[in-house]
């Protein structure tokens, strides 16, 4: 069996691309099935499967308890579990495979990544040390061991492992960043700052350089340099990050510059969302004359901050597997790290692991200034689990606690709208808008969302007013132009104006299938069937599984004489789960033979 597993690993690993590797995995599934046969009975023990919560894939992960301990089966199931971000199952499966082939470096890497993804660091350390001892250059192994040394205060040993990180890609910058904090741990601030200089040579890391120099110099009492660096960090051409604002503001508060801190907090854009409650708390602290805590208390905290920052960057780029590794290591070094806990929960949401997300959001410390943000995210995760009433209760509680804020009501209204509870959504949007003191450009989204709910509720006049108000706040906004223009087209009114609006939207979002469909549909309603067909064909290419777009395409085919193709597209539309009204309309066209005559009332 060991030989069989090794051959399978080599075959899969040698495949030229991801698609080939996936095909080989499934080609080897018969071997997996035979390996899962219970000796003496000939019956598979994998009779039941637990539906995986991850909605990224339609394929579930087998329940580890339902499968025997076979190496090939463990490897294949582990690969699939990692693909759908189920680290818990992946850890079980890869460790089973390792029992049969303990020296297989690929299995060691997979098992280690899965264990770290579950933050089972104590269990992962032997795997990491085995990889390091075998001279396999695995960054996860080096970072795991280094993080454990930092947690225990063995900074020199941590540096030894960091020095073995790859010398290509972003790893030299990562090494400099993490090594600098180990030097701070050994009270060598001068060398720590020298170590960070490499980050200045790459534009992508310049803001990171300023931020961590500020944290280090603040921690070491180098006030002059800290002030200079923090000012640079919060005047970045890309705009300040909230962590930089909090660190700089805290420094200003603790050094007799509360006016500078206040200006900094107030200047941060309110559009940043629920996270801005932490700035409200900082302003209240200044008003109360309370002392500001530093963002980082020691070298361990700085090391965790660096890991969190890298994890957040990977998350932003939707690279969820490495984001999980860095986030879990940050939490290993600093278990009470609130923003890392929220990032971990966000990762669970992004990968469809909503139960884990709910648990993690609920574990954010009650004293955390980011608790408001965590609770709003918690409500959204509850909704994803089908617990709308629990989400509603949480958001209503938040709305009661902070009557001056509208964000919890906006989230509740959005949830109700997605559940097609449009009348209730309109009512909650009304409450949210009533709490907004001064309407600003960023509030176009509120009027757009309420307008959609009003339109779906049959209150067109009010909906139209909201769409026009949204366009006053954000002229030429493509989503609003499309929705309003399409609504006019669908009602057969103001067609020339609708066409102009939709053309503006398409020019901004040429690859948005819904907007391209709108342009095709307005041309259809204007009886320019040949031009309509071009755009509707493009829309179907962009959104092949949308029943409305497919129906529109069928209508255009019919009007241009391609009636067999039209019937085929209408039949396709019926297979795409259309709503009851569309279902009835398409069936009528197929029965009657074609769409009804076009009627427009080109009102202005």
Cβ–Cβ under 8 Å, residues 155 and 299? yes
The larger pLDDT score, comparing residue 340 to residue 207, is at 340
Distance CA 103, CA 232 (A): 50
Residue in 297, 325, 309, 301 with CA at minimum distance from that of residue 173: 309
Tokens of 104: 């297989």
Give the model's pLDDT for residue 86: 62
Give the model's pLDDT for residue 374: 96
CA distances from 292 to 250, 252, 266 (A): 6, 9, 16
Distance CA 198, CA 213 (A): 12
Give the model's pLDDT for residue 203: 85
Distance CA 432, CA 414 (A): 11
Cβ–Cβ under 8 Å, residues 75 and 90? no
Angle between helices 223-233 and 206-219 (to 10 degrees): 150
Residues forming beta bridges with residue 37, ordered by sequence position = 44
- Quick one: CATH architecture of 387-475? Alpha Horseshoe (1.25)
Q: Where, residue-wise, is CATH 1.25.40.10 in the chain?
A: 387-475, 484-604
Give the model's pLDDT for residue 166: 94
The C-alpha angle with vertex 449 and arms to 525 and 418, in degrees rounded to 5, equals 95
Give the model's pLDDT for residue 39: 33
Q: Is 166 helix (H, G, I), strand (E, B) or coil?
A: coil
Cβ–Cβ under 8 Å, residues 150 and 299? yes
Cβ–Cβ under 8 Å, residues 145 and 132? yes
Taking the domain 484-604, which CATH number applies?
A: 1.25.40.10
The larger pLDDT score, comparing residue 78 to residue 237, is at 78
Query: Lowest-pLDDT range, 95-104, 224-233, 451-460?
Result: 95-104
Q: Is 326 helix (H, G, I), strand (E, B) or coil?
A: helix
Give the model's pLDDT for residue 54: 35
Query: Lowest-pLDDT range, 85-94, 241-250, 425-434?
Result: 85-94
Mean pLDDT estimate for the chain: 85
Give the model's pLDDT for residue 101: 62
- The pTM (predicted TM-score) of the whole model is 0.81
Query: Lowest-pLDDT range, 38-42, 97-101, 526-530?
Result: 38-42
Radius of gyration of the chain (CA): 29
CA distances from 418 to 448, 493, 525 (A): 14, 27, 29
């Amino acid at each position: 069996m060991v030989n069989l597993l090794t051959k399978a690993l080599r075959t899969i690993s040698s495949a030229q691309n991801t698609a080939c590797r996936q095909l080989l995995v499934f080609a080897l599934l018969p071997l997996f099935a035979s390996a899962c046969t219970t000796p003496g009975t000939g019956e598979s023990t994998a009779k039941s499967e637990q539906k995986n919560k991850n909605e990224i894939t339609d394929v579930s992960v087998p329940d580890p308890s339902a499968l025997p301990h076979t190496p090939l089966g463990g490897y294949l199931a582990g690969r699939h579990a990692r693909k759908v971000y189920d680290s818990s199952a992946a850890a079980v499966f890869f460790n089973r495979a390792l029992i049969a082939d303990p020296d297989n470096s690929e299995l060691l890497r997979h098992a280690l990544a899965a264990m770290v993804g579950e933050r089972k660091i104590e269990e992962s350390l032997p795997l990491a040390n085995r990889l390091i001892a075998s001279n396999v250059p695995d960054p996860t192994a080096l970072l795991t061991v280094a993080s454990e040394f930092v947690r225990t205060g063995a900074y020199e040993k941590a540096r030894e492992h960091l020095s073995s990180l790859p010398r290509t890609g972003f790893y030299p910058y990562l090494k400099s960043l993490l090594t600098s904090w180990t030097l701070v741990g050994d009270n060598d601030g001068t060398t720590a700052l020298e170590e960070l200089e490499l980050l200045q040579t790459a534009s992508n890391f310049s803001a990171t350089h300023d931020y961590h120099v500020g944290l280090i110099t603040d921690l070491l009492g180098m006030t002059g340099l800290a002030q200079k660096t923090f000012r640079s960090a919060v005047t970045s051409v890309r705009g300040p990050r909230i962590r930089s604002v909090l660190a700089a503001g805290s420094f200003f508060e603790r050094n007799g510059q509360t006016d500078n801190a206040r200006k900094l907090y107030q200047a941060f854009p309110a559009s940043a969302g629920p996270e801005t409650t932490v700035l409200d708390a900082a302003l209240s602290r200044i008003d109360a004359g309370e002392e500001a805590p530093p963002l980082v208390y020691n070298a361990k905290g700085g090391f965790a901050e660096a890991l969190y920052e890298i994890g957040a960057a990977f998350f932003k780029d939707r690279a969820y597997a490495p984001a999980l590794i860095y986030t879990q290591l940050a939490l290993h070094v600093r278990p009470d790290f609130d923003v890392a806990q929220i990032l971990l929960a966000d990762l669970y949401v992004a990968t469809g692991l909503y139960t884990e997300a709910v648990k993690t959001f609920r574990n954010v410390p009650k004293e955390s200034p980011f608790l408001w943000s965590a609770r709003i995210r918690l409500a959204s995760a509850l909704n994803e689990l089908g617990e709308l009433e629990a989400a509603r209760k949480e958001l209503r509680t938040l709305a009661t606690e902070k009557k001056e804020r509208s964000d919890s009501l906006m989230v509740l209204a959005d949830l109700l709208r997605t559940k097609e509870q449009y009348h209730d959504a309109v009512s909650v949007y009304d409450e949210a808008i009533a709490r907004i003191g001064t309407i600003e450009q960023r509030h176009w989204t509120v009027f757009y969302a309420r307008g959609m709910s009003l339109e779906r509720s049959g209150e067109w006049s009010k909906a139209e007013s909201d769409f026009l108000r949204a366009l006053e706040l954000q002229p030429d906004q493509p989503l609003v132009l499309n929705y309003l223009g399409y609504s006019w087209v669908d009602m057969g009114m103001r067609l020339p104006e609708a066409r102009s609006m939709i053309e503006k939207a398409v020019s901004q979002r040429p690859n948005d299938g819904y907007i391209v469909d709108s342009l095709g549909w307005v041309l259809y309603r204007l009886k320019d069937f040949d031009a309509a067909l071009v755009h509707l064909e493009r829309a179907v290419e962009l959104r092949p599984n949308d029943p409305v777009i497919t129906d529109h395409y069928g209508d255009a085919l019919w009007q241009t004489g391609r009636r067999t193709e039209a019937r085929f597209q209408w039949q396709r539309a019926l297979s795409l789960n259309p709503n009851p009204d569309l279902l009835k309309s398409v069936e009528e066209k197929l029965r009657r033979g074609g769409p009804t005559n076009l009627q427009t009332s080109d009102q202005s």
